[in-house]
Amino acid sequence: HPATLFAQGNLADALADVGEIEEAEGMTRDGLERRERVFGPLSPSTLSSRNNLATVLMRQNLNNEALEI
């Protein structure tokens, strides 16, 4: 359900905010995969999730991987 995907994204953001970066990354990756299936790869929701994943990766100094997102 779309509301579940939005809640998952919010939880991942909260985890990142409190320093649980690795858990946030996993949750964000999962959410991105689900959003691509539900909304399609170019929907605003999916693109926002891609941005969130890139941000989490950059917080881990994984800049090259973030650029690929």
Query: Residue 1 pLDDT more than 80?
Result: no
Question: Do 24 and 49 meet the contact criterion of CB atoms below 8 Å apart?
Answer: no
Instruction: Label residue 3 exposed, middle or buried (CB < 10 Å: 0-12, 13-18, 19+).
Output: exposed
Please give the Cα distance from 50 to 15 (Å, whole number).
17
So what's the pLDDT on residue 69?
87
Q: Please state the three-class secondary structure of 43-59 as a single string.
A: CHHHHHHHHHHHHHHHH
So what's the pLDDT on residue 3?
87
Quick: pLDDT tens for 42-65: 999 999 999 999 999 999 999 999
So what's the pLDDT on residue 34?
94
